[in-house]
């Protein structure tokens, strides 16, 4: 069986050489995927740092909250600060509590409902901030392989056009286009795999933080409910 000749010496099969020899469509695909990969890692690092800070803030707030300090004193301490996590939920609830009593709250049920809504809104804002940009990771994880596949198809089409133009199946004609196609696929996977792994981990971490904040909101709602019964409920 006759061996096919190898690629000509002038053909660059290094990654950098393949990039410069690729057609403009394949180049755009590669550049887009590389930028997406860089942005993915930037989001991952940012979220890991943000989640670590959030867990630290939750731990510090829980320690202060359950230390026996009065709610009024804690509220005065946090009211003028930029609070996050449980602190933001606490401040939102206490602010609604104080506004309601300043206006002469009469209905225990209405006051409890307003406080719960204030905490729910604060929790929603905190979760939106925590989960921000995670959608980008999910999009890259699902779309990057197909974008890379598009580059692969274009590269293979280029190879067939080269074969048709030269009327030869020489590897020197076929190899560059196929190598470009495989490089586009590899870059697509390079962007997609870390994005999928990071999305799953960060979503799980955000969920755990959400559970802690929801648990605090429920506990604080019960505490305020008892105080509402003492201050607002009609006495027999």
Residue 186 confidence (pLDDT): 86
Q: How many of the other CB atoms lie within 10 Å of CB of 39?
A: 16
CA count, 13 A, side-chain hemisphere, 142: 7
Which whole number is the average pLDDT over 81-109? 80
Which whole number is the average pLDDT over 17-42? 80
For the chain, which residues make up each domain, given as ranges? Answer: 21-231
Would you say residue 101 has pLDDT above 80? Answer: no
Residue 4 confidence (pLDDT): 38
For the record, the structure tokens of 121 come out as 């809104």
Q: What are 40-61's pLDDT values in tens digits?
A: 999 999 999 999 999 999 999 9
For the record, the structure tokens of 35 come out as 């930028």
Its pTM stands at: 0.78
Q: What are 112-122's pLDDT values in tens digits?
A: 888 899 999 99
Residue 39 confidence (pLDDT): 95
Q: What does the chain come to in residues? A: 236
- Return d(Cα 179, Cα 173) in angstroms, integer: 11
């Amino acid at each position: 069986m006759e061996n096919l000749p190898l690629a000509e010496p002038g053909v660059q099969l290094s990654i950098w050489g393949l990039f410069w020899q690729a057609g403009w469509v394949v180049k755009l695909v590669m550049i887009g995927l590389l930028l997406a990969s860089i942005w993915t890692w930037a989001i991952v690092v940012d979220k890991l740092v943000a989640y670590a800070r959030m867990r630290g803030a939750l731990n510090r707030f829980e320690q202060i909250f359950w230390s026996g300090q009065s709610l009024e004193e804690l509220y005065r301490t946090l009211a003028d600060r930029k609070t996050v996590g449980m602190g933001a939920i606490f401040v939102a609830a206490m602010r609604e509590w104080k506004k309601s009593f300043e206006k002469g709250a009469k209905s225990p049920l209405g006051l409890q409902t307003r406080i719960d809504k204030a905490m729910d809104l604060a929790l929603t804002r905190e979760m939106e901030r925590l989960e921000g940009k995670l959608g980008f990771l999910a999009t890259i994880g699902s779309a990057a392989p197909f974008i890379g596949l598009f580059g692969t198809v274009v590269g293979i089409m280029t190879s067939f056009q080269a074969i048709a133009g030269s009327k030869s199946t020489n590897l020197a004609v076929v190899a560059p286009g196929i190598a470009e196609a495989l490089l586009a696929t590899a870059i697509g996977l390079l962007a997609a795999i870390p994005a999928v792994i990071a999305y799953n981990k960060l979503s799980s971490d955000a969920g755990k933080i959400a559970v802690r904040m929801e648990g605090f909101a429920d506990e604080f709602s019960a505490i305020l409910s008892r105080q509402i019964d003492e201050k607002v409920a009609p006495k027999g």
